[in-house]
Each structure stands twice: as C-alpha cells, then as structure tokens.
C-alpha cells in the first residue's frame, strides 16, 4: 500500500505515563487505523506536519549547502544521540550516555535504524506485504523490541519517570508499512527522551542522516563485536567507524566501555584544533564528573618541548570551562601506537579531527584520529 | 515537548521521504565510492570486449559474454538497483549487439515471464486473504504441543503449500504463526533462541525444499522449462516433443525429492539448534484462543480457496496447451474480478522490477545460446574439469550441482538459473548427457541457497523477523546443502532412470 509521504504528530498525556509510553511500540504505530493499543490516535495533529516545512525539504546543491539548510542547533540544551541495535554493547553505551546527560538541560535520543527491505530478495513479493501481515497479527518489529528495552533500562536507572508526558510522531515512507516513528517523553522539568525508529537504505546512512539533521552535541555508537546479540539494525565496527569519519560533529565510539577510568585527551604537539577538542571533551567530561587526563606524543625527542607547550595550552583551555586536568603526560614515539597503548587504561581516548573523510578520500586519509579509532580496543571519541 | 526537541524531530521526520533516495551526507567522492562496483563492472566489461576473441568464440559471442560478466558482477555486488541491470541488458543488446529494438522488446516476454508475473500477483492475492490463521489453527490441532511435532507440522504444511503457490507466499503467511508461538513462549529473545531458529527455519527450509516440487514452486522452474523449449524443441521434429515438460511430468521427477527431504529438515534443525523447550503448550493454547476469536471460516475464505483450486487444476491439466503463465494470469484475473483483492494491493505488493529482471536475464540467456557464448563457456568448463576426471556421469552431475549451489547463494535463484541454464544445457550436449537431466539438476540445485540470508525469498522473509542471525544460516545451511545434494544425486542415479531419463 503506497502512501504519500507525510508526517503526523499526536500527543496524549497518560495518567500513569506507562500505557501511553508502552503501546505505541507494541503495535502498528501509524495513526491510520485507530484501535486499542494505538497511541493517541484519535487526537488530531497538534502541529502543522513537519514535512511541509521548507527548511527540512529544501534540496541544496552540495553537502555543505545541505548542512547549511539544516536549521541552527539548539543554543542551550545538551543533546545526545545513542545508536541502539539491540546488543548489550549498545545498552552499555546508553548507560554511559545517561551519565553524560545527567542534568536538567539534556535530551536523549535513542535511535534504531531499520534497513529498507530488499523487495528484490524476496522473489518479487514486496516485504511490506509480510510486514503488514505481521502488524495485522499484532506482532512487534525488531527495532521496536530493542527500543522498548532501552526505554525499560532508562526507567530502571531512574532517568525516565512514570509521570512523563508521551507524544507520538510518525512520517509515512512510501512502500514501507511502518515508516518513520518517534515517541517523545517529556519530563515536567523540560528534559526529554526520544525513541526513534527509522527506515533507511542502510544502517550507516540512517544514523548519519539523523546526526546531520539533529545536530546533536554528542553521538554515541557502540561498535558491537558480536552480531549474535544484535538485530537487523546491527552496528558493526565498520558502521561505527564510518559514522565517526563522516559525521561533522562529535562522535563517541564505545567498545567494552568501563565508565570510571576517565578521559585521555590527546593533544597534538602543534596545538590548533586539538585544543578546542580538549575544551569540548572537558565540557562533556564535566557533565559526568569524569576525570580528564592530557597526553601529547612527540615523534622525536626534539619535539618534546612543543608537546609540553601544547599540553600547557590545553590545560589553560580546559580550565577556562571549569575543569582541572587530573594528570598530564608527554611521551615520545609513534603517535598512533603510543596513544593506543597508553589509552588502554582509560575509559575513553579523545582525539580531535576537523575534517570528516568521506568516500574515496578515506583511502588517502593519514589522520591519527582515525588510525587510533581503527586500532584501539577501547572507546574512542572524535571531537569536532 | 521542548521546542528544540520538536524542531529536531520535525526536521528528521520531514526528511523521511527523501531518505530512501539519498542520504544527507553525500558528495561526488561519496558517490564514486558507493558506485565503485558499477564502474569496476563497466571497466571489466570494456576490457573483455576489447580483447581478441579466444578460439571458438566470435566477436559477437565475446560481447555477449562480456555483458554476462558485467551483469553477474552487478547482480552480486548490487551497486545499482537490480532492475537497472535489466535495463542495461536491454540497452546492451540494442547498442552493442546491434539487434533491432523491437526484436529485443519481443524477446523480453515469454510464457515464463508471464508465469512469474501472474504468480506474483497470485501471491499478493493469497496473502491478503488472511488464511494464515486458519492454517495455523489446523497445524496446532494436528501436531499437539510438542516442539518437534510443531516443527514437523510447520515444515510439512509450508512445504506442501509452497510447492504449489510459491515459497514467498507461504513464508509471508507462516511467519506470523512462528513469531506468535515464539513470543507467547517468552518475551526474552535470548531464552528462546533455539526455539525461534527451529520454528523459523522450519518455514524457510520447508519452503525452499518444496519450491522444486512443481513448476509453480518458483520462477527458476518456469525459466528452465522455457529454456528446454527454446533450445531443443523443434515443432517439425516430433522427437523433440519430450523437451516440452508439463506440470505433471515435472512433479513426477521432482516431487519425490521434496518429500524425502522433509524428515531430514526437522532432524537437522533439531540437532543444530536444540530448542530450549520440548513442549510449547502454553503458547499453543494461547494461539488457539487467539485464532478462535476470529470465528468460523467466512464465505470469502471459501471463495478464495475455490479460486486457487481452479488455478491448480488449470496448471495440472492445461499447462502444456495454455502454458503455465496463462493459467497464472487467469488466477490473478479471477481474484481481481471476484473482488478478493484490490489492484492497488497487487500493484504495491509486487516488485515489478523482478519481472523485468527475469525477462532481461532470460533474454540474455537466449543471446548466450544464439551467439555461441554458452557453448564456449560449457566447453571451457568441461576442459577444465577433464583432468580431474569429471567429464560426464555422476561426477559431472555433482560438479554442476556444486557450481549452481555456489552461484545461487550469491544471487537470486531465478537469476542463477537464467545465467547458468544456457551453459549447463550446452554442457549436457557437449558431454553427451541428457539436457533434461542436467536441466533438472541445475533447477533443483538452485534451490540449495541455504547458506545466506539472500539465497531464497523464504530465507529473506524469515530473517526480517529479527530473531535470526546471518551466522545461523551458515551453521545449519551447510548441513542442508550436503543433505540435499546427496539426495539429489541419489535420485538422479536411481530414481530418474526408472521413469525414463
């Protein structure tokens, strides 16, 4: 059933909070067929559909044009996007994101990307026919299960309360019976949690789209080593690395994340962007009260002075945002292997990178940040 | 909702319609990178075309061969939507081979293509009848609550239905049954991993092994029937009438092979995945209650069963005179005229690109034969196998089965038969084997795509449930491949000679 693209937004305040929160994810979320179990389907759209907004639809010439067409990001609120694929690693990443987002000014978005069904692979029968059949039986689709689990985790750790208002939004995607869906939980204090289920050509595309359009302060993606525990929206190490390479904002790629060992901020002996990256990380680290350590690696002994200078400058930069470094180090050696080795004892290795690398340019990339990202066993954050 | 959150959400939802077309992050470099296999395929094709033709192959044959290589790379790597490959095959025939465009257009339509089109429309019509709940009720009534029995019931019912109405139809109908049983057993996926795998693979492999049973079981069968007729039937020579394989003849050769595979499927699945629960009575009771709520069969249900029975009778009795495709189209027309399905549902439920793809692949296959490229590849393959002692008989059958199994696991089984069919049929001629026997081995082996998610439509559909991992297909798939290949070769050596191959 091909539907024209459009968006719907509905709101309903639940007496208990829980039913309104639960039901959208349990059945067909589209507001087309109002029925028991469908969230707030009877209430007319409270706002003008977003699809009509020219800012969101206006095509731009190049990638920078597209990015410019995206409305400016929120001035004061701290926003985190957590990519969920149903794996334990993604829920560990969610826990860490909650820690970073502690405070009343933070919004959390849980994103599950469902790759577009390949009709060609089912011998010519569109898989939407299958999905419609499943929805008619009242069965959940994989992404919904994973997002529900994320929501339960948030409730368990006390981030999401029963009295939060739940609002449901939907956009039709031609040829897909489920389309794009979101449930927004808003606290009386203004904090919000968004459960976002979207359909995209691939998991990486979907996440990158959401990153660029949402302009989040931080994107957290868990590189799942074990496909066994993830669903069709599996975020592999390659997908996570691609997000880090191609997104224009700050990305934290988590691997075996242990929360309490602090951030190792790597400073280039040349200073420059890495100082601003250090500042950015200090802001993030201060939110979760994580200790910050500074490291600069000089390739030769002759470069030690420059590295020490860079560390000193970084110290001044992060002190400006009210964070005192818990330790400083200057080492000599190959930057990539030294950082990877030294970083093993920390929760997160933080590196800065100004330009993103897309397409064929990644072949010629000589970035230390991306090399560390590829080689490190623990979590890496690329700040921009 | 905070205005900032709302603005962010509106931007994202507003982009939903565009996301299918192009991601936000995109530039020329990204475009080149994403399409690298398209350009590599074109470069390989151009290089091959400019090489001097090898011995036994003329320039035209070389061009057709180059086009086939390009098509195979694009089928496997999918840098562009697959129907684009079909359109490129059409363009290639007109521009590179200099064939008149009307002739190319005519070559795209045949009874096999009509059959594919008709059976897809029938598939949507049947799924829309919601007979799945009735079938589920019947299965659990007969099998009881033991997990092993339910698996056998699902495999048998999926298989028997899929052998007539196509595996995608049955997989689409049976998937909710299996998922309901799994979710009613436990909400925690990890606690029922084995059970989920056994139930879901019972559907997909039940369908896959059954697809070989009748010509209407899959597009690949109709394609092979079309090739036999195109390559070997001569209306002026009555001896070639044996190459017109009708519905019943096909069943006589292949249905027993499906039936003997059935018990092995359940055994392999139970041995591989070891379900956590030996008895799923709680889920079965709940399912029964859920289905009973729908009430008794309605008149529309009976009408749809009667309509499909007429189609089945048409295939069994008139396919040799009317053609499989005409009967399938008749069925689709009947469903539409009676009003059991809306055209809008049929239109959106069928991926018409698949029809175009098969049409173009068959057209290219015919060019492979006409240009001598198929014979050249067949001879080269035989020359390659000869030093290994594989030049005919059982070793050659096994080699063809293994080759087809390898190819079908990387592309759709219909496309595999469309590409390999002309080559294996020419190999039969070159090695003195029966083209009917080799054709059956090729068509049946193309159903052994158990190893990958994309191998068969049924595998793709059950994977969409989210309960299975890609590695599950490998773990159980290789056992299935070994079992099916052994049973096929035994049937070819012992059973087929009895019925006159």
Spatial distance between the Cα atoms of A211 and B415, rounded to a whole number of angstroms: 38
Identify from A12, A65, A123 which residue to disrupt to test chain B contact, counting B C-beta atoms within 10 A and taking the largest count: A123
* Interface contact A198-B171, CB threshold 8 A: no
- What is the pairing mode between strands A165-173 and A7-12? antiparallel
Q: Are B107 and B363 in contact (CB under 8 A)?
A: yes
Asked whether the beta carbons of B156 and B265 are under 8 A apart, the reply is no
A33 touches chain B (CB under 8 A): no
Neighbouring CB atoms inside 10 A of A189's CB total: 10
Question: How many CB pairs below 8 Å do chains A and B form together?
Answer: 273
Residues 81-100 of B with CB under 8 A from A: 81-83
> Mind telling me how many Å the CA of B330 is from chain A's nearest CA?
19
Domain boundaries, chain B: 26-107, 111-499
Q: Cβ A198–B463 below 8 Å, yes or no?
A: no
Contact B167 A70 (CB under 8 A): no
Please report the pLDDT score of residue B25 as a whole number: 47
**DSSP assignment of A15-34:** SSSHHHHHHHHHS---TTS-
Give the chain A residue whose CA is nearest to the CA of B290: A137
For residue B303, what pLDDT band results from cuts at 50, 70 and 90? Answer: very high
Task: Give the model's confidence band at B252: pLDDT under 50 very low, under 70 low, under 90 confident, else very high.
Answer: very high
- The C-alpha atoms of residue B361 and residue B111 are separated, in whole angstroms, by 14
CA distance B322 to B329: 11
The mean pLDDT of chain A is 73
pLDDT at A236 over 80: yes
Nearest to B445, CA basis, from B475, B480, B471: B480
Q: Which two tokens stand for residue B23?
A: 């991601």
- Model confidence pLDDT, tens digit, residues B384-413: 888 887 777 889 999 999 999 988 887 778
What's the rounded Cα separation, in Å, for the pair A207 and B50?
A: 43
Helix (H, G, I), strand (E, B), or coil: what is residue A163? coil
Q: How confident is the model at residue A24 (pLDDT cuts 50, 70, 90)?
A: very low
Whole-number pLDDT of residue B46: 94
- Is residue A212 less than 8 Å (CB to CB) from chain B? yes
Reported as a pLDDT band with limits 50, 70 and 90, residue A49 is: very low
Cα(B167)–Cα(B173) distance, integer angstroms: 10
Coil, strand or helix at A76 = coil
What pLDDT is attached to residue A86?
A: 83
- A368 SS3 class: helix
Tokens at residue B241, please?
């009438």
Residue of chain B nearest A60, judged by CA positions: B24
Q: How far A284 CA sits from the closest chain B CA (Å)? A: 20
Whole-number pLDDT of residue A45: 36
Cβ–Cβ gap A141/B469 under 8 Å = no
Of B2, B11, B33, the CB nearest to A359: B33
Find where tokens 């305040």 sit: A13
Confidence category of residue A248, pLDDT binned at 50, 70, 90: confident
Q: What is the mean pLDDT of residues B263-272?
A: 93
pLDDT computed for residue A26 by the predictor: 36
**Cβ distance A351 to A372 under 8 Å?**
yes
Helix axes B111-128 and A127-136, enclosed angle (nearest 10) = 10
| Domain residue extents for chain A | 16-46+74-254, 259-383
The residue with greater pLDDT, A349 or B455, is A349
Question: Structure tokens of A15?
Answer: 């007496």
More confident residue, B113 or A46: B113
Judge whether A236 is closer than 8 Å to chain B, CB to CB: no
Superfamily designation of domain A259-383: HUPs (3.40.50.620)
User: Token match 């577009």: residue?
Assistant: A116
A206 touches chain B (CB under 8 A): yes
Q: Find the Cα–Cα–Cα–Cα dihedral B481, B483, B487, B490, rounded to 10°.
A: 100
Q: Distance from B382 to chain A by nearest Cα, in Å?
A: 31
* Mean pLDDT within B205-215: 92
Is B151's pLDDT higher than 60? yes
From the CB of residue B482, how many other CB atoms can be counted at a distance below 10 Å?
12
A149 in Cβ contact with A128 (< 8 Å): no
The Cα B62–Cα A141 span in angstroms is 48
> What confidence category does residue A306 fall into, taking pLDDT thresholds of 50, 70 and 90?
confident
Provide mean pLDDT across the span B274-280.
Answer: 86
Q: Could you read off the pLDDT of A104-155 as tens digits, one per residue?
A: 678 899 999 988 766 566 677 777 788 788 777 777 777 888 888 899 899 8
Nearest beta carbon to residue B454 from set A121, A194, A361: A121
Residues 403-442 of B with CB under 8 A from A: 412, 414
Say yes or no to pLDDT of B47 above 50.
yes
CB proximity B132 to A under 8 Å: yes
Can you spell out the DSSP letters for B68-120?
HHHHHHHHHH-SS-HHHHHHHHHHHHHHTS---HHHHHHHT--HHHHHHHHHH
State the smallest CA–CA distance between residue A142 and chain B in angstroms. Answer: 5
**Quick check: B24 pLDDT over 50?**
no
What is the Cα–Cα distance from B290 to B373, expressed in whole angstroms?
58
How many other β-carbons are positioned within 10 Å of the β-carbon of residue B499?
10
Is pLDDT above 90 for A52? no
> What is the C-alpha to C-alpha distance for residues B419 and B96, in angstroms, rounded to an integer?
19
State the pLDDT at residue B204. Answer: 93
DSSP B494: I
Q: What is the secondary structure of A200-252 as a DSSP string?
A: ESSHHHHHHHHHHHHT-SEEEEE--S-GGG--TT---HHHHHHHHHH-SS-EE
Of B5, B20, B412, the CB nearest to A107: B5
A16-46+74-254: CATH topology is Rossmann fold (3.40.50)
**DSSP codes, B131-167:** THHHHHHHHHHHH-SBHHHHHHHHHHHHHHHHHHH-H
pLDDT digits (tens, 9 = 90+) for A251-294: 999 887 677 788 888 888 776 666 777 778 788 887 778 888 88
């Amino acid at each position: 059933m091909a539907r024209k693209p459009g968006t719907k937004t509905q709101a309903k305040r639940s007496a208990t909070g829980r039913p309104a929160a639960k039901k959208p994810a349990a059945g067909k979320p589209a507001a087309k067929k109002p029925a028991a179990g469908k969230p707030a389907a009877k209430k007319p759209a409270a706002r003008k559909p977003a699809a009509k907004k020219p800012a969101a639809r206006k095509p731009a010439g190049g990638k920078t044009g597209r990015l410019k067409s995206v409305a400016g990001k929120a001035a004061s609120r701290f926003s985190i996007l957590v990519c969920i694929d149903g794996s334990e690693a993604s829920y560990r990443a969610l826990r860490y994101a909650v820690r970073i987002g502690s405070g009343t000014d933070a919004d959390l978005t849980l994103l599950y990307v469902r790759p577009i069904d390949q009709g060609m692979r089912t011998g010519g029968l569109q898989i939407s026919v299958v999905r419609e059949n499943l929805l008619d039986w009242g069965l959940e689709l994989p992404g919904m299960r994973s997002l529900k689990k994320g929501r339960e985790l948030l409730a368990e750790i006390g981030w999401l309360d029963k009295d939060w208002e739940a609002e449901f939004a939907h956009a039709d995607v031609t040829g897909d019976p489920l389309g794009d869906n979101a449930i927004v939980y808003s606290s009386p204090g203004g904090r919000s949690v968004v459960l976002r289920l979207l359909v995209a050509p691939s998991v990486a595309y979907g996440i990158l789209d959401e990153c660029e359009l949402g302009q989040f302060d931080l994107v957290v993606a868990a590189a799942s080593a074990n496909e066994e525990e993830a669903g069709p929206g599996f975020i592999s190490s390659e997908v996570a690395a691609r997000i880090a390479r191609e997104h224009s904002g700050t990305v934290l790629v988590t691997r075996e994340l242990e929360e309490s060992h602090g951030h190792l901020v790597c400073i280039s002996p040349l200073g420059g962007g890495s100082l601003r990256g250090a500042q950015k990380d200090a802001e993030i680290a201060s939110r979760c009260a994580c200790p910050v350590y500074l490291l600069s690696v000089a390739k030769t002994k002759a470069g030690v002075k420059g590295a020490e200078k860079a560390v000193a400058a970084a110290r001044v930069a992060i002190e400006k945002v009210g964070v005192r470094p818990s330790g400083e180090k200057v080492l000599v050696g190959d930057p990539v292997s030294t950082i990877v080795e030294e970083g093993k004892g920390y929760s997160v290795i933080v590196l800065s990178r100004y330009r993103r690398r897309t397409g064929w340019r990644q072949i010629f990339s000589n970035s230390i940040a991306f090399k560390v990202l590829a080689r490190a066993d623990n979590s890496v954050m690329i700040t921009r | 909702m905070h205005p900032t959150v709302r603005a962010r959400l509106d931007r994202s939802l507003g982009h939903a319609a565009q996301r299918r077309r192009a991601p936000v992050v995109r530039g020329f470099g990204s475009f080149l990178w994403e399409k690298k296999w398209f350009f590599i395929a074109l470069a390989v094709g151009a290089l091959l075309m400019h090489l001097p033709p090898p011995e036994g192959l003329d320039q035209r044959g070389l061009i057709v061969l180059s086009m086939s290589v390009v098509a195979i790379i694009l089928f496997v790597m999918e840098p562009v939507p697959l129907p684009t490959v079909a359109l490129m095959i059409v363009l290639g025939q007109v521009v590179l081979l200099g064939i008149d465009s009307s002739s190319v257009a005519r070559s795209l339509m045949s009874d096999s293509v009509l059959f594919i089109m008709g059976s897809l429309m029938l598939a949507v019509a049947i799924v829309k009848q919601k007979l799945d709940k009735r079938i589920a009720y019947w299965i659990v009534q007969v099998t009881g609550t033991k997990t092993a029995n339910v698996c056998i019931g699902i495999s048998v019912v999926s298989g028997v239905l899929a052998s007539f109405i196509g595996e995608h139809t049955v997989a689409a109908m049976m998937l909710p049954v299996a998922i309901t049983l799994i979710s009613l057993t436990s909400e925690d996926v990890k606690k029922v991993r084995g059970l989920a795998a056994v139930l879901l693979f019972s559907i997909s492999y039940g369908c896959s092994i059954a697809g070989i049973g009748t010509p209407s079981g899959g597009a690949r069968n109709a394609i092979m029937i079309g090739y036999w007729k195109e390559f070997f039937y001569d209306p002026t020579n009555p001896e070639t009438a044996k190459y017109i394989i009708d519905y019943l003849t096909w069943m006589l050769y292949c249905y027993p092979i499906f039936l003997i595979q059935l018990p092995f499927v359940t055994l392999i699945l139970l041995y591989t995945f070891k379900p956590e629960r030996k008895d799923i009575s709680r889920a079965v009771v709940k399912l029964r209650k859920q289905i009973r709520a729908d009430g008794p069969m309605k008149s529309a249900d009976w009408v749809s069963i009667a309509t499909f029975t007429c189609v089945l009778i048409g295939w069994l009795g008139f396919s040799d005179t009317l053609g499989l495709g005409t009967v399938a189209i008749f069925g689709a027309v009947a469903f539409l005229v009676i009003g059991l399905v809306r055209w809008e549902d049929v239109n959106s439920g069928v991926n018409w690109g698949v029809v175009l793809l098969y049409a173009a692949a068959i057209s290219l296959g015919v060019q492979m034969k006409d240009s001598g490229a198929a014979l050249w590849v067949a001879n080269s393959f035989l020359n390659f196998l000869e030093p290994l002692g594989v030049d005919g008989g059982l070793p050659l059958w096994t080699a063809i089965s293994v080759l087809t199994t390898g190819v079908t696991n990387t592309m759709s089984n219909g496309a595999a038969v469309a590409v390999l069919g002309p080559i294996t049929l020419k190999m039969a001629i070159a090695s003195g084997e029966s083209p009917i026997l080799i054709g059956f081995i090729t068509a049946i082996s193309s159903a052994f795509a158990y190893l990958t998610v994309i191998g068969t439509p049924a595998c793709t559909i059950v994977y969409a449930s989210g309960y299975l991992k890609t590695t599950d297909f490998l773990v159980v798939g290789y056992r299935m491949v070994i079992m099916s290949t052994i049973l096929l070769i035994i049937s070819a050596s012992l059973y087929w000679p009895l019925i006159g191959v």
